[in-house]
């Protein structure tokens, strides 16, 4: 079932404009969520802000945003100050530029959204922009205010629609240089061949069930049993932690044993 749109506006490329609507491509609505309660009364507990010096509660009208520019020294910013530096339009996705689709690494990807035309009249303009990106192997880069924050976004053609990804900012992504520099191992070809065979045996067709969260099922079953006032079940025993190896393992022998143990096991297609 299609979700209701949470954002409506316009997709714009130069003089070409079409009305669009956006839906979130992911959801956590099915996740089990907990509230903090007062054990004595069963009532929910509210969070409040307190002054860290006086310990007194601070009314909402007296709460302000502050940027710390030095120890204990803050610059106060009002809503008017933030509005002055925000985007002029929060309802237009104005594609500023295009980049090769394979040049944006996955580290930059944040949250996906489905973008679709909002009326039949705008479908042609939407389709033209989508197909042109697909034909040229490019993705569009723009900026948009989402979730009360200005964000860089990437528009990726996908089937009949467009996936709009919010992107992480440049100062949020750490360069990989320096993290992997000390890894000097150069494995021998026979070892790589054995691991390749092990990978082949465990390769299967991708399907969403491969990343199913069994903990959510266990939590729902626990909550259901609580509703029926059943006696609390004993915690399920997990796998014991393997003991730390006491000697150097021969990688070649370990790989051969791994392949032998999986002989005859066929991954699902």
Place of tokens 């990688």: 251
Report residue 93 as tokens. Answer: 């996705």
119-150: pLDDT as tens digits: 898 999 999 999 999 999 999 999 998 877 78
Confidence of residue 165 (pLDDT cuts 50, 70, 90): very high
Q: Looking at the predicted structure, is the pLDDT value of residue 237 above 70? A: no
Buried-exposed string 83-121: b where 16+ CB fall within 10 A, e elsewhere: eeeeeeeeebbbbeebeeeeebeeebeebebbbbbbeee
Q: What is the DSSP letter of 263?
A: T
- Residue 124 is predicted with a pLDDT of 93
Greatest mean pLDDT among 10-19, 64-73, 75-84, 191-200? 10-19
Burial class (CB within 10 angstroms; exposed 0-12, middle 13-18, buried 19+) of 63: exposed
10 Å Cβ neighbour count for 244? 5
Q: Which residues contact 269 (CB under 8 A, 6 or more apart)?
A: 204, 205
The answer to whether 114 touches 23, Cβ cutoff 8 Å, is yes
The pLDDT of 152-169, averaged and rounded, is 95
- Residue 265 is predicted with a pLDDT of 58
Is residue 225 within a helix (H) or strand (E), and if so which, with residue range? helix 214-227
Nearest to 63 by CA among 86, 83, 47: 47
The answer to whether 77 touches 65, Cβ cutoff 8 Å, is yes
Nearest to 62 by CA among 40, 78, 44: 78
> What pTM was computed for the model?
0.69
């Amino acid at each position: 079932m299609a979700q209701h749109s949470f954002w409506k506006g316009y997709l714009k490329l130069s003089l070409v404009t079409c009305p669009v609507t956006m839906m979130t491509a992911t959801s956590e609505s099915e996740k089990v969520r907990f509230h903090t309660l007062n054990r004595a009364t069963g009532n929910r507990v509210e969070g409040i802000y307190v002054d860290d010096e006086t310990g007194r509660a601070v009314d909402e009208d007296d709460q302000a945003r502050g940027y710390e520019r030095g120890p204990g020294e803050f610059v106060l910013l009002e809503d008017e100050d933030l509005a002055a530096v925000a985007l002029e339009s929060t309802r237009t996705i104005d594609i500023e530029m295009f980049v090769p689709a394979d040049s944006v690494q996955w580290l930059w990807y944040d949250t996906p959204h489905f973008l679709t035309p909002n009326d039949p009249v705008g479908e042609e303009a939407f389709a033209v922009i989508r197909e042109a990106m697909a034909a040229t192997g490019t993705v569009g880069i723009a900026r948009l205010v989402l979730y009360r924050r200005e964000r860089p976004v990437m528009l990726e053609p996908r089937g009949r629609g467009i996936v709009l990804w919010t992107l992480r900012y440049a100062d949020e992504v750490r360069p990989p240089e320096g993290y992997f520099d000390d890894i000097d191992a150069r494995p021998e070809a026979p070892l790589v061949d054995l691991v390749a065979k092990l990978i082949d045996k465990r390769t299967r067709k991708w399907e969403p069930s491969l990343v199913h969260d069994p903990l959510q099922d266990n939590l729902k079953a626990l909550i259901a049993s609580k509703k029926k006032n059943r006696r609390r079940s004993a915690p399920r025993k997990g796998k014991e932690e393997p003991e730390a190896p006491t000697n150097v393992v021969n990688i070649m022998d370990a790989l051969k044993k791994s392949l032998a143990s999986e002989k005859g096991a066929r991954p699902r297609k």
